[in-house]
């Protein structure tokens, strides 16, 4: 591939399968290829990477083909046992340039796509010696905000990664889930669905940072705000995922606003936010926004896309900024409460000092250390809620920031991303012994 620009997913034949998928087991690999990654598409990364096209499931239970990018530390020995992390990017757009399978590649022209910002977080997991799966959890249609689908795609991406022999993983490999914002929402769907949809997976923990909580509430709050672009692209995505909404939206929204939604479909996240800041759908709704939101077809969809109806079977860490300017802490409080009422084991950390985007990076050491503890089979502690000044200031997290800075310097210098900062065994001996005994 060299340094040439890769094809966008909607133009790349790799993403399309001609096989009849109905009789194929979810997670089955359909096609593979090796790829090169780059920071912001420009700075080549010495990370071992492949893409897998695999069979998954859409919103209505129909088979579909989906893509994940799977990674190993540079020079990793596949014979060495290691855990697998499924990292759900904050795609937060429906333009194909924002899908991580494209945005993370060398030569990608995806300025303003959030997954490009998240590559250092993915690299921090590789630096621990872990394997990583990065699914295109919105699917080929860019269904941002749809119910269940992101979970199916993430879980089937894990299945595909475990079956990909190059990674050296096995059916009993311990798995973790991690995502922030829109990626946190996708992570909660995967966590909720895992026990029923993929019970064979050994998912030992899930970390969801600022996981939206209630997409409908977020839409109302962000509409007309500096982050109104999120509300617009969310509407455009639901229009794709739920065709039954088309008539309702056309009846209520002006032709001008519908045209703006069409433009939002082809715009990366940060340019989208800049272009549509302050845009108020209420000014474009013929009977007012409240009337549109009360339409039965739309109300049913908004209720369906709210996570929390099922309790995740694995322990969870949820992190949220109290003063978050994008996601309301009250919505995350309510999501945590829904999980606890259903018996989930949730450790919830509320951060007083951070705001939305900074928390993703300031909180990364605490989030990845929590996952490392799950992989090391350490006790989870008593579930509960902690309100603290900053997750970045703990004694354990502080040295990790220097490590992250050093890792970023390695990435900027195109130096190998290996298991330089790994702590402890990749899979603890106690866990391995239990598996041998169980076998």
Q: Tell me the catalytic residues.
A: 181, 324, 356
Rounded Cα gap, residues 181 and 185, in angstroms: 6
Phi-psi region of 411 (alpha: psi -120 to 50; beta: other; left: phi over 0): alpha
| DSSP state at residue 47 | E
In angstroms, what CA-CA distances link 257 with 232, 267, 280, 389?
9, 15, 10, 41
Phi-psi region of 244 (alpha: psi -120 to 50; beta: other; left: phi over 0): alpha
In angstroms, what CA-CA distances link 418 with 24, 87, 376, 390?
35, 18, 19, 29
Rounded Cα gap, residues 280 and 260, in angstroms: 12
Residues forming a β-bridge with 67: 53
Rounded Cα gap, residues 149 and 152, in angstroms: 5
Rounded Cα gap, residues 214 and 206, in angstroms: 19
| DSSP state at residue 186 | H
């Amino acid at each position: 591939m060299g340094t040439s620009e890769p094809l966008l997913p909607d133009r790349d034949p790799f993403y399309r399968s001609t096989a009849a998928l109905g009789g194929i087991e979810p997670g089955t690999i359909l096609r593979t290829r090796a790829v090169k990654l780059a920071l912001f598409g420009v700075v080549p990364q010495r990370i071992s990477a492949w893409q897998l096209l695999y069979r998954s499931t859409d919103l209505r239970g129909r088979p579909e083909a989906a893509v994940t990018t799977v990674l190993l530390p540079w020079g990793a020995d596949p014979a060495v046992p290691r855990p697998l992390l499924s990292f759900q990017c904050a795609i937060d757009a429906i333009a194909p340039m924002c899908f991580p399978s494209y945005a993370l590649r060398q030569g990608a022209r995806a300025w303003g796509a959030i997954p490009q910002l998240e590559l250092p977080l993915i690299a921090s997991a590789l630096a621990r010696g872990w394997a990583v799966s990065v699914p295109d959890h919105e699917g080929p249609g860019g269904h941002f905000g749809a119910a269940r689908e992101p979970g199916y795609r993430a879980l089937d991406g894990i299945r595909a990664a475990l079956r990909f022999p190059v990674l050296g993983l096995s059916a009993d490999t311990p798995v973790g889930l991690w995502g922030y914002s829109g990626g946190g929402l996708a992570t909660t769907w995967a966590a909720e669905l895992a026990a029923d949809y993929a019970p064979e997976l050994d998912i030992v923990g899930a970390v969801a940072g600022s996981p939206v909580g209630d997409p409908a509430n977020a839409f109302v709050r962000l509409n007309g705000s500096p982050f109104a672009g999120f509300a617009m692209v969310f509407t455009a995505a639901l229009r794709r995922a739920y065709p039954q909404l088309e008539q309702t939206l056309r009846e209520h929204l002006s032709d001008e606003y519908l045209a703006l939604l069409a433009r939002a479909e082809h715009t990366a996240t940060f340019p989208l936010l800049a272009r549509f800041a302050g845009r108020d759908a209420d000014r474009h709704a013929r009977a007012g926004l409240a009337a549109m939101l009360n339409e039965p077809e739309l109300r049913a969809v908004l209720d369906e896309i709210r996570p929390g109806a099922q309790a995740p079977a694995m322990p969870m860490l949820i992190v949220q900024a109290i003063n978050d300017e994008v996601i309301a802490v009250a919505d995350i409080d309510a999501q945590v409460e829904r999980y606890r009422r259903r018996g989930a084991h949730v450790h919830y950390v509320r951060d007083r000092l951070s705001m939305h985007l900074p928390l993703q990076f300031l909180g990364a050491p605490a989030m990845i250390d929590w996952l490392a503890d799950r992989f090391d089979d350490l006790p989870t502690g008593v579930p509960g809620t902690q309100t603290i000044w900053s997750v970045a200031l703990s004694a354990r997290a502080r040295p990790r920031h220097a490590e992250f800075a050093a890792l970023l310097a390695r990435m900027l210098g195109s130096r190998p991303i290996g298991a330089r900062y790994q702590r402890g065994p990749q899979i603890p001996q106690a866990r391995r012994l239990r598996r041998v005994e169980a076998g």
